Amino acid sequence: MALRRPLAHMLAFSALMIGMAPLVADDLPDPAGRPEKFKAGMKAACAIYYEDGAWHMRMTAGGAKKKKKAVISGSARVKGDWIRGDFQGLDKAEKAKDADWIVIHKDKLGFDFQFGLHGKVDAVNFKVGPKAETVTFQVMVDGDDNPKAVLIGKAGAHPEKGGKLVFPAAPGGTSSSKPADKE
């Protein structure tokens, strides 16, 4: 009986870990190109795409009819080299929980973000260094990592599941060492 418990615990832990495994590039849609399906004011969504040697994130939620702001939050992290970005549309608020913010990680290899959205589009653009290997995104809408809220690449495809999304740092084999430009 004593041997069964550790085995049962190991199996349960393994199943949990498999369920939490990040999606990697082979399991994800192609990130190249701006999603054609992404429109300002659509249902809460975060578009992630790679274009012109830079990563781009566009976030929007609801329109004039939606009374409550949607909150899109998460992180982006690079493995292997630096990250430099341009952040647009950061709105102030009386309470920090309602404000838009971006916090750069101490090691300068990523950032955490939060955007309160109501009909407009907020943007994050960033480039990674030439030695970067991967870029990992995690996106949540109102605290939920629903994959239907994430649009990837020109096709605007959704990942199979929520959680961490790991892409090659420079899809197509190109990288840039210049800071991200404003759009």
**Rounded Cα gap, residues 77 and 26, in angstroms:** 18
* Domain-embedded: residue 16: no
The model's pLDDT over 123-165, given as tens digits with 9 standing for 90+, comes to 999 999 999 999 999 999 999 999 999 999 999 999 999 999 9
Q: Is residue 179 part of a domain?
A: no
Domain that holds residue 159: 22-173
Residue 159: per-residue pLDDT: 95
Mean pLDDT of the region 51-79: 88
In a domain, 181, yes or no: no
For residue 93, the Cα-to-chain-centroid distance in whole angstroms is: 23
Position 102 pLDDT exceeds 90: yes
Write the pLDDT tens digit of every residue in 130-141: 999 999 999 999
Burial 46-60 (b: 16+ CB within 10 A, else e): bbbbbbebbbbbbbb
**Mean pLDDT score of the chain, rounded to an integer?**
82
Best CA proximity match to 56, nearest among 42, 76, 27:
76
Q: What is the pLDDT of residue 68?
A: 76
The secondary structure of residue 27, as a DSSP letter, is G
Residue partners of 21: CB distance under 8 A and separation at least 6: none
Cα of 38 vs its chain's centroid, Å: 15
The Cα 137–Cα 139 span in angstroms is 6
Number of domains within the chain: 1
Give yes or no for residue 103 having a pLDDT over 80: yes
User: What's at 176, amino acid-wise?
Assistant: S
- Do residues 123 and 58 touch, judged by C-beta distance below 8 A? yes
What are 28-42's pLDDT values in tens digits?
999 999 999 999 999
Asked, for residue 60, whether it belongs to a domain, the answer is yes
In a domain, residue 183? The reply is no
The pLDDT value given to residue 67? 67
What span, in angstroms and rounded, lies between the C-alpha atoms of 101 and 92? 8
Q: Does the residue 10 lie in any domain?
A: no
Is 13 domain-assigned?
no
**Residue 129 within any structural domain of the chain:** yes
Question: 50 in helix, strand or coil?
Answer: strand
